[in-house]
Amino acid sequence: MRPDQKAFFEAFYRENFNKLKYQAYPYLKQLDQCEAAVQESFLIAQDKIDQFMNHPNPYGWMVKTVRNVALNMQRTQDRYLRLCQEAETLAQRPDPSSSDLLHLDFICASIVKEEEYALFRAITYGSKSYMEASKELGISPEACRKRVQRTAERLRKALSEGG
């Protein structure tokens, strides 16, 4: 980004972060997830800085982007939740709120590693945000998201093949 773009971007970020966070709230319902949606949206805005800055209404552009990101996150979360429930129903594990993963042998043995499933589950049930998990693992939220995505994909394939 050019210096003028950087200055615009940071000033806009600081002025609007919390307003935008609430714009994600109708879809994500949890403020920490809304915060992640806004951060993701700013990453998009940075990537499309010309489009964003030159838009007649940059705030409106950003609101729509935040909503689309939030909707995307919400749908991904819903898909993960269905996967999790399907996997755990198959594992005959009656209490999905428990953090005990010992009975998930069938999942962890051949499809995904236990720590991968634990991360996937924590993200899916909202007990950890991508930011929290990425800080714990010492990786970026993007890398963390990729790990969860890969786990979900392996589970989906295994369940569709097995089902």
Partner 1 sequence: MMDEIRNGFPKYEYMKQMNTEKLEELLRLSGSEEDTPERDEYVDAIISELLRREEEAPTGRLTDVDKAWNDFQTYYNTPDAKPMEVPLPVPNAAKPKKFLWRNCLGIAAALVLLCTLALPPALGYDDFLHMVGEWTDDIFSFTPAGKVRETQSSGSEYQTLEEALDAYGITEFHMPALPEGFELVELVAVPIAEETDKMYITALYQKGHDTVTIMITENEEKNTNYSAFEKNDTSPSICNISGTDYYFFHNNSKETVTWNTSILKCTIHTTLSQEDLQELIESMYERS
Positions in the binding site for partner 1 (CB under 8 A): 10, 13-14, 17-19, 21-23, 25-27, 29, 31, 35, 38-40, 42-44, 46-48, 51, 55-56, 59-61, 63-65, 67-69, 71-72, 74-76, 78-79, 131, 134-135, 140-143, 149-150, 153, 157
Rg (CA), the chain: 18
Residue 156 CB, shortest distance to partner 1, in Å, is 9
Nearer to partner 1, 21 or 121 (CB): 21
Distance of CA 27 to the CA centre of its chain: 13
Residue 133 CB, shortest distance to partner 1, in Å, is 11
The helix (H) or strand (E) run that includes residue 101 is none
CA dist 118 and 81 (Å) reads 13
Nearer to partner 1, 117 or 130 (CB): 130
Residue 153 CB, shortest distance to partner 1, in Å, is 6
Residues 134/140, Cβ–Cβ less than 8 Å: yes
CA dist 73 and 28 (Å) reads 8
- Comparing CA positions, the residue from 56, 44, 47, 58 lying closest to residue 8 is 58
Residue 102 CB, shortest distance to partner 1, in Å, is 29
Nearer to partner 1, 63 or 90 (CB): 63
Residue 73 CB, shortest distance to partner 1, in Å, is 8
**Dihedral (CA of 136, 130, 21, 48) sign:** positive
Nearer to partner 1, 43 or 109 (CB): 43
Nearer to partner 1, 32 or 103 (CB): 32
CA dist 42 and 36 (Å) reads 10
